Amino acid sequence: MTQTEEAVRSPQLEARYRLAEQLRKEGERIDELQRNEYLIFQHPGRFCFGMDAVLLSAFVRIKPGSRVLDLGTGTGILPILTEAKTKGEHFTGLEIQEESADMARRSVAVNGLSEKIDICVGDIKEAGRIFGAASFDAVTTNPPYMTAEHGLQNPDLPKAIARHEVLCTLEDVVREAAYVLKPGGTFFMVHRPFRLAEIIRTLSAHGLELKRMQLVHPYVDKEPNMVLLEASKGGRPRVTVEPPIIVFKEPGVYHEDITGIYGY
């Protein structure tokens, strides 16, 4: 950030930066989220959130008063953004890696959200035991996309856990989401299109009916590399396919679809 940009910070944002600097640990950076003047801690040596999390936060539809669980929350990006963008009542992030959960907790504190967002350390495979059946109105997740057979696994364990199904599988995520959702509750996920058939089968096997889908293309003439999904617990069969999102107009130039979501 330039000195000019720093000079136009609001008093609230300045106060948040001062607190963040006090709470920041070695190697971490402080990023602005361009929403409600919220900040987030990230560590470049670990897994940092990407566009997929931001797109999912724009895709979700959270009803007012809802209680929302984010499975595999990482540094808390989805609870923080969905709190900013929706009228949900309370948000919980479940994360198995203590270091990531610690960053998420500190980000929540810096943004003054400790009354609205809880960060819990735990295994996605144990979500049902941790929270109980039918305890949430909505579940969000940006899970590991790759199985052990898909590409080279990152030798850095925190990044491998975030990208590959090292500690949990698609089946684990969907099963636990279905268990903690109330009847009629909604499940939101971002994933890879090449696993779409498997995803739909898995959703159906656990009583989650696909209701809405949106594909994300890097360029208008390239095949999609992300898919945004909404499923309903006990819903009737009917799927709405929304217009695709295009990321780039040309190399280095975002499409209007993205600038609108990011608020540029």
Q: What is the CATH number of the domain that holds 170?
A: 3.40.50.150
**pLDDT per position as a tens digit, 56-65:** 999 999 999 9
CA 14 → CA 6, 75, 103, 107, 113, distances in Å? Answer: 9, 22, 20, 15, 17
User: Residues with Cβ < 8 Å from 74, sequence gap 6 or more?
Assistant: 47, 49, 53, 95, 100, 104, 142, 162
Closest CA to 165 of 203, 192, 204: 192
Asked if residue 162 has pLDDT above 90, the reply is no
Number of domain units in the chain: 1
Question: Residue 149's pLDDT is what?
Answer: 55
Residue 8 lies in a domain: no
Report which of 53, 19, 157 is spatially closest to residue 30, judged by C-alpha positions.
19
For residue 35, being part of any structural domain is answered with: no
Contact partners, residue 78, CB within 8 Å, separation at least 6: 53, 56, 57, 70, 93, 140, 142
- C-alpha 75/C-alpha 82 separation (Å) is 14
In this model, does residue 156 exceed pLDDT 90?
Answer: no
| CB neighbour burial string for 228-257, b if at least 16 within 10 angstroms, e if fewer | bbbbbbebeeeeeeeeebbbbeeeeebbeb
For 112-137, the pLDDT digits (tens) are: 999 999 999 999 999 999 999 999 99
Q: Report if residue 106 sits inside a domain.
A: yes
For residue 8, name the pLDDT band (cuts at 50, 70, 90): confident
Non-local (6+) Cβ contacts of 66 within 8 A are 86, 88, 89, 136, 137, 138
| pLDDT of 24 strictly over 90 | yes
Is a pLDDT exceeding 50 seen at residue 2?
Answer: no
* 16 within some domain: no
The predicted model scores a pTM of 0.90
Specify if 193 maps to a domain.
yes
**Residue 145: pLDDT band with limits 50, 70, 90:** confident
| Strand 226-233, strand 208-217: pairing | antiparallel
Q: How far apart are CA 200 and CA 230, in angstroms?
A: 11
Q: Does residue 132 sit within a domain?
A: yes
Q: What is the mean pLDDT of residues 15-42?
A: 96
Of the two residues 130 and 1, the one the predictor is more confident about is 130
Query: For residue 231, what are its two tokens?
Result: 């499923």
Residue 141's closest CA among 219, 202, 183? 202
Q: What are phi and psi of 226, to 5 degrees?
A: -145, 155
Task: Tell me if residue 11 falls in helix, strand or coil.
Answer: helix
Print the domain residue range for 187. Answer: 49-262
Is the confidence at residue 138, as pLDDT, over 60?
Answer: yes
Instruction: Give the per-residue pLDDT at 147.
Output: 65
- Total residue count of the chain as it appears in this document: 264
Give me the percent of the chain exceeding a pLDDT of 70. Answer: 89
Kindly tell me if the per-residue pLDDT of 164 is higher than 50.
no
Residue 5 has pLDDT above 70, yes or no: no
SS3 for 58?
helix
How far does CA 21 lie from the centroid of its chain?
Answer: 25
For residue 13, is it within any domain? no
> Is residue 214 helix, strand or coil?
strand
Categorize the per-residue pLDDT at 151 as very low, low, confident or very high, splitting at 50, 70 and 90.
low
Task: Compute the distance between CA of residue 243 and CA of residue 13 in angstroms, rounded to an integer.
Answer: 36
Within a domain: 34? no
pLDDT tens digit sequence for 208-240: 999 999 999 999 999 999 999 999 999 889 999
Q: What is the pLDDT of residue 1?
A: 41
